[in-house]
Structures are given as C-alpha cells and as structure tokens.
Structure 1
C-alpha cells in the first residue's frame, strides 16, 4: 500500500502558503501555563501525530482499513459507521484503539469526501495556551470525480456528516458552480 507524502504546505484564507508544522500559534498563555513554548507545542503535536500514525499502521487496523478500501466508494461511508465507529466490532476484529485516540466522522469546508479521522486532543494546558485543540489524520474517499473546492471557495462551512455520507453513497448528486 502506497502512503501519500504529506503536503509540505497549505494555502490559508488570505492566499498565503504556510507549512502547518511551522505556523506560529496564537499565544494565550497565562500564569498557569506560561512555561509552555511554541517548541513545546510543536513537540507535543509531533508526538501525538506519531501516536496516530503508529495506530494506523497496526496490523489489525490495516486489515479493517484495507477491507474498507476493497468496497465500492459508495459503500465506504456505511462501513465506517458499522465497523470503524463500533467499538464492539473493532474489538471482535482485534483492533485495540489506544486511550485518547478517537475515530470519528468529519466534514470540511472544501467538501472533500472525508470518510473518517483519527484524532487525539492535546492536553488542556496546550489548548488553553495556544488555542490548538487536537491533531488528526483525515482519510478521504477516492475523489477523482468529486468536486473539491480550492482557493477562496474552500473556506465554506462544513456540511453535516450524515448528508455528506448520503452524497458519497450516491443518494444525491453534487453540482457546483464556478
């Protein structure tokens, strides 16, 4: 299985290109968390990303992930609901989700066909100091024919994940205008 290299940069709402691992986070430190530095935040985020990656590459999780990818694209959202979001089914398949790691559905303003995310919340002191809430890995459905917004049009309010799943399953068609 090929693993896509992470994008070295993203384009922000103002059109500037930034590397997400080098963004200067907003500083909201107080006396209680004043000792935390931006380097501490980067290190904690990297640590948590590596925990997500390590979990993703466990043999057991890879088995369910590959099973999902063998399904037609339109059946994958249902698989996510029935398997990946079901603790009992995951346990039956030998998947042990580490404490603090969440598997959840999500949607984004660029309308990419997100199937699920692996998420881990940062400790509260980091959230309070820098406004960063969590780190996550996002897994999208194949989207060769799916209209993905970019530039200014990517900054939309995300659609409801249930509606997004219904669109991905082919129940609705999506038309966009330029």
Structure 2
C-alpha cells in the first residue's frame, strides 16, 4: 500500500494495481477524492465534477464546437499528477532579461484513446516563454481519460495554463 498527500493505492512490482484514489484540496484545505482510477482495468471509476464547463469537442471530422460534456478530459491522477510535469518549466533567459511575466495557455486535442496531439499556443507572452510552455506540454505522458458525451468518448480540446513569474529577490 502506498499513501501520499495526493494518492493512495496498491503497488505490485513498482506498478500501480487495482483502484487508486487521487486527492485534491478545497479552498478550506479539506482533503477530497477527485478521482478513483482502476489501474488494472484501465478505467475511471469516479471523478469529482467541477461544474458545467464547456469544452471544444470534435462533432464531425474536422468540425469543432463548444459544448458542455458529461465528463471532461481528465489526466489520470488529477491536477496533482499533472503538476509533476508542469513544474519542470524553465524560465527562459530572454524573458528574465526583459522581465517578461505572465501566463501562457497551450491547447491540445485529447482523442478518444486518451492521446494528446496538435499542441498550440492560444495565449502568448513571448520572450521564449511560449516555446518553453509548448515543450513542457509535449512532455506530459499520454495518460489522459477522454471526454464523454453520454456514454461515448469524444475528442476534446484541453487548455493548460502555465505561469511565468519572476522570483522576488
């Protein structure tokens, strides 16, 4: 059994097996289950809905529309697992020299098999930050659970916002 601040479940030969719980924290610091994922069956058992958010989904090949989905695209392990990759952000020297700070948003498609592709910048700040945000987004493993409309998996666009902030001396 392995338990951390962010996850709990069984390990077998360094692999996650069975149902794992992944945790998040509310604004009042209450620990809540955000996902239950069965690593043996490779199936989502439960996720904590975060309201009716619209996602761009592929309605027909090449056609995308903004819709409320029954289940959004999810990264296995939730935001805490995703942060493992997004914290690898390296502040570009050019941006530091020019005191460029802000947020870069990267959008990418999650297909019906949970594979990410077509990464692109949708909010830019320049100074090399856009390229660095793209680099980091592309390092995220394909451990996505596709969006669902009713019982059917649908390709959906996921937006990831990465923040570049200068450290205070």
TM-score by length of 1: 0.26
Query: Greater RCO between the two (CA within 8 Å, min separation 6)?
Result: 1
The structure with the largest helix share of the pair is 1
**Greater share of residues in strand:** 2
TM-score between the two structures when normalised by the length of structure 2: 0.27
